[in-house]
Every structure is written in C-alpha cells, then in structure tokens.
C-alpha cells in the first residue's frame, strides 16, 4: 500500500530532527547513493588535470574529485500587510556549500589527525585549499577554505570481492571559501 503524503512528511520531519540533533556524523560504509569518483570526474572543469588537498599549509594528498564550496544565499520574500499580492525579494545571509572530496587512503598524517579529532569528539577547524593543476602539475588555481569542520567521513566498504579502488568520501563545511589564481608546481610527493 503506498504511503500517504502525511506519512511521508511525518517521517521526513523525524529524519530531519535526528540529523539536526548531531552536527557530526560518521558513515562506516559507503552509502549506495554516494557519488562515485567517475561522477566527480564528469563534473570537473578541467579536461585533464589533478586535484590535491592542502591542510594548514601541508600537502595532504591527491583528491580524485570534489564538489561544493560555492557561496550561496536563500531568497527571502517579504509581503506588505497592505498589499498581499505584491512582494519584495532580497537575498538572505550568504553561506558556503559543504565541500565533498573523494580521495584514496594514502593521505598525509594531517588529514588523519583531523579525522581522529572528529572521531574523538573534539573537532578542529582547519584552513586549507583544493589545488587545481593541469596535466603537467602546474598549479592553475586554488579554492581556499577557512574554518572548515568535518561533518562526515565515509570509509570504503569492506568487500574482498570488489575490484574497485578503495576511496574515502570526506565532507566538511567551511566558514568561507575563496577562488584564487595559482602559481608554481604541485610537489611530486603531493601528486603520488
């Protein structure tokens, strides 16, 4: 028997309350709907190139793909009490989208320390950047983020029969982001 709209909305309200109750979560296995590295690659702005993660000035390792980090604002609509038909719209507070990265397990200790602090219940805000490079590892641009807190860490499923590479999905919410021009080359140890 199909569920009614009331049953769906009641369930969605409970799910929202549960999600809102705890800002930090841990996914012990990759969710079936989690974006794959191939899906991330299809959304990239570069036809050929690499991404790398930098945390607090340290090269943390290669990023297979990422999304998010854009500045967004909600549209707020005001209606006058005198004229209920005409409304005025303006932008609400600006906030930044959650950044989702997909990466391998061969990452620097700075990332593992960040994850360990989250799991210990003592989250640490980090500054860093997603580094965009061309095929020759020349830094093209950087998406710098500030005051980011981890919100979710998805570890690869433990399936011995799987032939896919093991990738982690890491989500974090920055206080702000900034897209800046890049210079120099990515160190070869960061691209390994």
Distance, in Å, from the CA atom of 69 to the CA atom of 82, rounded to the nearest integer, reads 40
CA-derived radius of gyration, the chain: 20
Q: Which two tokens stand for residue 181?
A: 């021009």
Quick one: pLDDT at residue 11? 55
Helix, strand, coil content of the chain in percent (nearest 5): 20, 40, 40
141-174 pLDDT per residue, tens: 999 999 999 998 888 877 777 777 778 899 999 9
Distance, in Å, from the CA atom of 130 to the CA atom of 51, rounded to the nearest integer, reads 7
Q: Would you call 113 exposed, middle or buried from its count of C-beta atoms within 10 A (0-12, 13-18, 19+)?
A: middle
Distance, in Å, from the CA atom of 120 to the CA atom of 20, rounded to the nearest integer, reads 20
Quick one: pLDDT at residue 129? 92
23-37 pLDDT per residue, tens: 433 333 333 444 544
Query: What structural domains does the chain harbor?
Result: 24-181 (2.30.110)
Q: Would you call 101 exposed, middle or buried from its count of C-beta atoms within 10 A (0-12, 13-18, 19+)?
A: buried
pTM for the full model? 0.65
Q: By mean pLDDT, which of 2-16, 46-60, 125-139 is the weakest? A: 2-16
């Amino acid at each position: 028997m199909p569920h009614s709209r009331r049953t769906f909305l009641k369930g969605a309200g409970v799910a929202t309350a549960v999600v809102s109750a705890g800002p930090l979560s841990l996914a012990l296995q990759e969710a079936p709907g989690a974006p794959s590295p191939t899906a991330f690659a299809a959304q990239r702005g570069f036809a050929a190139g690499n991404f790398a993660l930098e945390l607090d000035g340290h090269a943390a390792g290669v990023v297979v793909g990422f999304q998010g980090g854009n500045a967004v604002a909600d549209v707020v609509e005001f209606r006058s009490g005198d004229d209920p038909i005409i409304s005025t719209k303006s932008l609400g507070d600006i906030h930044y989208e959650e950044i989702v990265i997909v990466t391998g397990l061969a990452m620097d200790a700075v990332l593992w320390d960040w994850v360990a602090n989250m799991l210990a219940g003592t989250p640490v805000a980090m500054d860093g950047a997603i580094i965009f490079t061309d095929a020759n590892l020349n830094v093209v641009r950087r998406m710098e983020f500030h005051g980011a807190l981890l919100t979710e860490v998805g570890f690869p499923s433990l399936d011995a029969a799987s032939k896919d590479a093991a990738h982690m999905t890491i989500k974090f919410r920055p206080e702000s982001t900034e897209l800046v021009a890049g210079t120099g080359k990515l160190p070869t140890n960061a691209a390994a």
